[in-house]
Structure 1
Amino acid sequence: MIQVYKFGGASVKDAEGVKNLAKVVSLNTQSSLLIVISAMGKTTNALEKLTYAYVNQSHEAQNLLDEIKSYHDQILTDLFNDPSHPVFDEISNSFIELDWILEEEPHPDYDFNYDQIVSVGELVSTKIVSAYLNYAGLDNQWIDARGYIQTDNTYREGVVDWNKTTSIIQQNLPQILAKKTIVTQGFIGGTSENFTTTLGREGSDYSAAIFASALKAESVTIWKDVPGVLNADPKLFNETIKFSQLPYTEAMEMSYYGATVIHPKTIRPLFQANIPLFVKPFLNPEESGTIINNDPFISADQQAIIVKKNQVLTSFFTRDFSFISEEHLSAIFAVFASKHIKINMMQISALSFSVCFDYDQKKFEQLLKLLNTTFRIKYNADLELYTIRYFRHETIDLLSKGRIILMEQLSRNTAQFVLK
């Protein structure tokens, strides 16, 4: 049987994290193993800043790249006693490709630039981890996910060609897995023209699900810095409760509303293939964590609180004070779809249509430009969106105390409110 492990950036943020990953991997003695790994620590954030500086031709770009190089050099030095180990040159060559990009004029499409630059984080992290596992006696083969996960040309939100992807994975990977562990990247894919795409922010979970589905894996395990799926973010709330089990449907609801423990696209391919998903703590791998499967929800009375920060609440008004019609909504949704902006909450009245979504400066500026001629637009930025599954009214009162609720919705099981 095949198992898929996914390790996020927090689990490989330093040399100790990589060594701990090796210990976790060494505990698996029963199954063939495919390991999906994210960029190290906050590297994706750093590469996003680098992309922005490069596109805007800022002198800061080279300094940012030097910092990213230095961070990875330190991890290499801490992991390998021998400075002549081939991995040092391999990582250096990976960063030289970024140097070459910075010397060229930026591509007109910002998202194209983003994917070619930010994807380097996963390529570098997996090369380091693969080299260390071999160094530690855990035989493995590094593969380039871009040759297996095939997408269209939607940069930053690559749409997976499932037929092509499944065929390539099934044709090539089982033979390798029969002999050794595979180490590969999360978050990234490739186009038919051999350009790099990414699958959406935090998309490494989705990558693990894609490989697992194609390989008909026994299970997927996401290794996190939390004991499992919690009912709230422990960084924001002092008292949290771990779910021992969640059905696929509830996990999809929670991830859709912004629970960061699982990427929203992860659940569907696992649900369709009936592959259980485990969320476990990488520092305590023997703990049971949370299992997500087809079993019914046994804790439906337990509230789950999900907080999304950096939100913008935008209201559209017709310029002639006519009612908001289906034609108006169609025009607004078309622009949101074209810019790949996901709406987190929306509300309609006679004269306005209001939406709450993640603030991305470049996308927001494009949105305003495209809709400003047809609509009057008002917005508030730097807001927070709270979602409570199986809410109690006293919890809403407690969370909103001393703050302004700009928009609120209550349904049978879910409460959402935007706070200033």
Structure 2
Amino acid sequence: MPVKLSAPAASALLPVKGVQLGFAQAHIRKPNRKDVLVITVPENSSVSGVFTLNRFCAAPVTVCKAHLKQQQGIRALLVNTGCANAGTGQQGLDDALATCIGVAQALNISPEQVLPFSTGVILESLPMDRLLAGIAPAVANLKEDNWLNAAEAIMTTDIVAKGTSRQLTIDGQSVTITGISKGSGMIHPNMATMLGYIATDAAISQAALDRIIQHAVNKSFNCITVDGDTSTNDSLILMATGQAGNAVIEEDSAEFVRLQEALTAVAVELAQAIVRDGEGATKFMTIQVEAGQSEEECRKVAYAIAHSPLIKTAFFASDPNLGRILAAIGYAGIEDLNVNTMQLYLGDVLVAEKGGRAASYLEAQGAAVMQESDILVRVVLNRGAANATVWTCDFSYDYVKINADYRS
């Protein structure tokens, strides 16, 4: 079961003015499950996206990037689960474009105003007849309060739907932010197999929105890892409808900072939910690296710890075999690291200092911390003022079972 995570109530996911969502059961891979989602935004909305850096990126990622560059004004998103449409060559591109045409015809807009997304099994072609047939019923039930259904419609191996909302006041107007995400395995930065959709009714310039999404993703989805595999389909979309009634927010204003903080908080909550719902996860670990010379080297150490199967399996077993953490710090790639001046903490317990086991450390202390479901690992490098935080989970028996049976 997910680590201290449950699906949000439908009423907790607040409608965003101008955003409508509709879903369908198209039997893309499995019967009787929501697997097609359509999201629409009004004219003059600002839309920004960040995508996987995997060179074998999926066809819909390629199409999304092209459509965003054309600046015709994005009006709709189409998401299907069950098939990633990745590793499908020219046929995959043709199919992704055909889905855009299908949505465009249903909504009377241009195909270039549609962003397509797919998630599921790689190296298989979309079942186009079923997918295209699912567009009409999804459009037919477009509603502003369909956020929970939308969160359920994008799930693959996820156990629970993921979504959250925030509200703040800007220029005397109530501004709403609501976001959903999916992801459970093949999670690693750049970005983490995830899809994320966050919408706000704030009025904000395109340049300001583009800046916010980069900041938000670097503080959230680029700080999580489940298994170290970067997916072919990762996508995060940020939409702003401009219907809250506030003055248009530009970069470097006080309103910009407040909206950026709120949107980033939503992204962080969604990113952490992905880790808490990591395939087979029983522990949620925060890896906090402090006092480094740069954020980059702090991240190197954090990811060396977070990616180690030996460390992740030890946490699953609640086994304080913490020498594995020291080994990961040592191979993280900091060539001039002085191991004699750094400290390692498990929760509030000092485990290692002066190049070895802390004199005050008792294994019973480590074992007690590792019994907890939320665990903090702190590494203090004592090399500077930089820091970085990464969130990860353990590896359990169920992780292997889920991925062994994924295509069944």
Q: TM-score normalised by the shorter chain: which range applies? A: under 0.3
**TM-score where L is the length of structure 2:** 0.28
**TM-score where L is the length of structure 1:** 0.27
Q: Which has the higher helix share?
A: 1
The one of the two structures with greater contact order (alpha-carbon pairs below 8 A, sep at least 6) is 2
